[in-house]
């Protein structure tokens, strides 16, 4: 697999798996407005993944389709971060997971718009418009819950304490990233940390939440080493294509 193909799949898999996670909440939101909002975010993410998988299938030129890439790979072939495969938990856990991801994705897509690969730049430009809404939505909820009742503050703080160990993997880079950066296609993820930290700090101050003090960091998803949760996600995600091969709507 080419470096470009791997680079695209990493972005696409993040969107697909988080979109699938959020879709589990359809009909189960805490209020009708929030149920619709989370479903729309899920649709945006799956739409982004679709565009990326279509491009990946095109450059692979091996007869695979975007559906093959989305539905017919094995667990270790997915390259999403561990953060996006974590269970929804309560509403606080769902929102904090989304907020951490959005806080990274916003500067990432801003930078990816400058990619020398016109297809990637175009996908990033469209996705950025959606991601601005996603970040505003998740940030407002983190502030509302963190600076709300004693119970809501406790729950989002506990969610942040649990999820923060997965954040560092969002900035994971290896030789594939270095090659993409050298070619002007990819983004130097370390350059995004200042913008990420500034947005994080702003919301934490407004929400009265505290940054976790520990230095524990978990990674592995970018190279196909996942938590047990991904296998369960794929069981549902892939069922129709596994049960009815080549099924199309």
Is 233 among the domain residues?
yes
Q: What residue spans of 147-222 are helical by DSSP H?
A: 150-163, 175-182, 193-207
Contact 133, 67 (CB under 8 A): no
Q: How many domains does the chain have?
A: 1
Separation of alpha carbons 158 and 18, rounded Å: 20
Is 120 among the domain residues?
yes
Q: Is the pLDDT of residue 248 over 80?
A: no
pLDDT digits (tens, 9 = 90+) for 74-83: 999 999 999 9
Model pLDDT, residue 179: 98
Cβ burial of 243 (10 Å; 0-12, 13-18, 19+) is exposed
pTM to 2 decimal places: 0.96
Residues 206-220 have a mean pLDDT of: 92
Write out the residue range of the structural domain in which residue 102 sits: 3-211+219-243
Is 99 among the domain residues?
yes
* Closest residue by Cα to residue 7 from 102, 127, 108: 108
Is 86 among the domain residues?
yes
Separation of alpha carbons 102 and 98, rounded Å: 6
Is 150 among the domain residues?
yes
Contact 146, 157 (CB under 8 A): yes
Is 249 among the domain residues?
no
**Phi and psi dihedrals of 246, rounded to 5?**
65, 15
Q: pLDDT confidence of 249, banded at 50, 70, 90?
A: low
Tokens of 11: 């972005």
Q: Is the dihedral of CA 141, 144, 146, 148 positive or negative?
A: negative
Q: Is the pLDDT of residue 214 over 90?
A: no
3-class DSSP assignment, residue 211: coil
Residue 11: give its domain's CATH number. Answer: 1.20.1260.10
């Amino acid at each position: 697999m080419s470096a470009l193909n791997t680079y695209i799949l990493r972005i696409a898999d993040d969107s697909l798996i988080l979109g699938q996670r959020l879709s589990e909440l359809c009909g189960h939101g805490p209020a009708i407005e929030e149920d619709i909002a989370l479903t729309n975010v899920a649709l945006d993410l799956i739409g982004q993944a679709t565009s990326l998988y279509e491009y990946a299938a095109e450059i692979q030129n091996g007869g695979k389709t975007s559906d093959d890439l989305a539905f017919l790979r094995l667990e270790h072939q997915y390259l999403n971060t561990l953060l996006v495969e974590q269970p929804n938990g309560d509403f606080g856990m769902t929102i904090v997971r989304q907020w951490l991801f959005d806080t990274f994705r916003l500067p990432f897509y801003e930078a990816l718009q400058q990619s020398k690969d016109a297809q990637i730049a175009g996908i990033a430009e469209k996705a950025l418009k959606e991601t601005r809404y996603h970040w505003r939505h998740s940030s407002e909820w983190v502030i509302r819950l963190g600076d709300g009742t004693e119970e809501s503050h406790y729950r989002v703080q506990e969610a942040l304490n649990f999820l923060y160990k997965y954040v560092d993997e969002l900035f994971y880079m290896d030789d594939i990233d270095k090659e993409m950066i050298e070619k002007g296609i990819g983004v130097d993820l370390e350059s995004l940390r200042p913008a990420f930290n500034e947005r994080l700090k702003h919301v934490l101050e407004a929400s009265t939440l505290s940054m976790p003090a520990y230095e524990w960091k978990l990674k592995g998803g970018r190279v196909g080493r996942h938590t047990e949760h991904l296998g369960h996600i794929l069981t549902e995600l892939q069922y129709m294509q596994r049960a009815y091969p080549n099924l199309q709507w």
